[in-house]
Amino acid sequence: METLIKKAGTLIEALPYIQRLNGKTVVIKYGGNAMISEELKNSVMEDITLLKYIGVNPVLVHGGGPDITKALKLYNIESKFINGLRVTDAQTMEVAQMVLVGKTNKEIVSLLNCKGGKAVGFCGIDGKLIECERYKTTVDGVETDIGYVGKIRNVNSRLLELVAKDEYIPVIAPVGVDMEGKSYNINADTVAGAVASALKAEKMILLTDVEGIKYSKDSDEVIPEITIKEAYELIDKGIITGGMIPKVLGCIEALEQGVSRTHIIDGRIPHCILLEIFTNKGIGTMIKN
């Protein structure tokens, strides 16, 4: 009986969050180990399906870097990275699009449908969902062309709103299109931020392979909440470093564009999405204005 009462208490704890999010849009970036482990895959898909059933409008943006690297090896194409971005020539782009759109996207759609959801797969080419231009990075102060890597110019929010506010779950592969119809590879965190901003989402959640933002380099304790100002201070102090910087900056940009709350959470924890947004304490770091 005590176990049953605890379960009831968990549901009651979730009630105000469910009420607050009813009818609202939540953008989720899905990547890292959560895409590799079968247990975690199922856990994430169950969380997303449950969100839809209780009246939330989830929009899923997925990565696929490891799958692309694996496919490139089969074609004897070397993977090169500059400033954390994949150098993408025409042949690499062809493989990336094949993997992201033809394989990874459809596997996620199929898994969501098996869980009882009604998922629909998209990439940026569909209905000009993600319009972009060629992105150039800076290396030692010199502007450098890294191929078919896209910088987002516009997101067709109308298309996503029609689908997400109906009974469907949009699943977006991070491939964009330019004015000439050419395809571009885009960082999935960047796509999630742009999509969340365009939809004025209530929340954006980034699933990562870290626990969240720590108080210091030596600390094991995760900061539950942090403001934009505090996040910049931690970057300046060198506490937020490496691959966490673009994720935090992406969260900040989304907040500045109208997203209410952003979250960086550990995707290695089963049912991490539900634990973060439907419990008082949460499991990751929430960044807010």
Domain ranges, ordered by start, for the chain:
23-209
d(CA 190, CA 37): 24
The token duo for 67 is 């799958």
Provide CATH code, domain 23-209.
3.40.1160.10
Please name the amino acid found at residue 82. I
Total residue count of the chain as it appears in this document: 289
> Of 143, 150, 136, which is closest to residue 179 (Cα–Cα)?
150
Query: For every one of its 289 residues, what pLDDT tens digit does the chain have, with 9 covering 90 and above?
Result: 677 677 777 778 888 888 899 999 999 999 877 788 888 899 999 999 999 999 999 999 999 888 999 999 999 999 888 877 889 999 999 999 999 999 999 999 999 999 999 999 999 999 999 999 999 888 888 888 899 999 999 999 999 999 999 999 999 999 999 999 999 999 898 999 999 999 999 999 999 888 888 887 778 888 999 999 999 999 888 888 877 887 888 899 899 999 999 999 998 999 999 988 888 778 889 998 8
pTM of the model: 0.91
Q: Which residues are annotated as a binding site for substrate?
A: 64-65, 86, 185
Cite the annotated binding site by residue number.
64-65, 86, 185
